[in-house]
Amino acid sequence: MEDRSNQARGYKAAISNPNVSDEAKQHAQKVLDTEFSGGNVSVTDEGGKDPGNVARGLKASITNPNVSDNAKEEAKERLEDMAPEE
């Protein structure tokens, strides 16, 4: 599944890249429409990632002054969702 996600991402990148020819952009859009449901490819949220590392990354986002308030709120919510139920 991850491989298909990477393929779809590559086609999307080609469409938005100003250095790609119109012909190649049309081909990329055609492939997205026919093989990837218009580019809507589902991706598993934490597929194979160490939950401890994910939690540490979220905590780092919360304390990082360069992260927007909206992103900090999302990180807090995800971190709360990861907490084991007691």
Token digits of residue 39: 């580019």
Range of the domain at 13: 2-39
Q: Identify the band that residue 74 occupies on the pLDDT scale cut at 50, 70 and 90.
A: very high
pLDDT tens column, 30-70:
988 888 776 666 555 546 788 889 999 999 999 999 999 99
Considering the domain boundaries, does residue 44 fall inside one? no
Considering the domain boundaries, does residue 29 fall inside one? yes
Give the Cβ contact number of residue 18 at 10 Å: 5
d(C-alpha 13, C-alpha 19), whole Å? 11
d(C-alpha 21, C-alpha 14), whole Å? 9
pLDDT at residue 47, rounded to an integer: 60
Considering the domain boundaries, does residue 67 fall inside one? yes
Considering the domain boundaries, does residue 72 fall inside one? yes
Co-location of 6 and 34 in the same domain: yes
- Quick one: average pLDDT of 21-25? 94
**pTM given for the model:** 0.45
- Quick one: average pLDDT of 10-20? 91
Considering the domain boundaries, does residue 26 fall inside one? yes
Considering the domain boundaries, does residue 46 fall inside one? no
pLDDT at residue 4, rounded to an integer: 78
pLDDT at residue 83, rounded to an integer: 76
On the CB side of 76, CA atoms within 13 Å amount to 10
Co-location of 33 and 56 in the same domain: no
Q: Identify the band that residue 26 occupies on the pLDDT scale cut at 50, 70 and 90.
A: very high
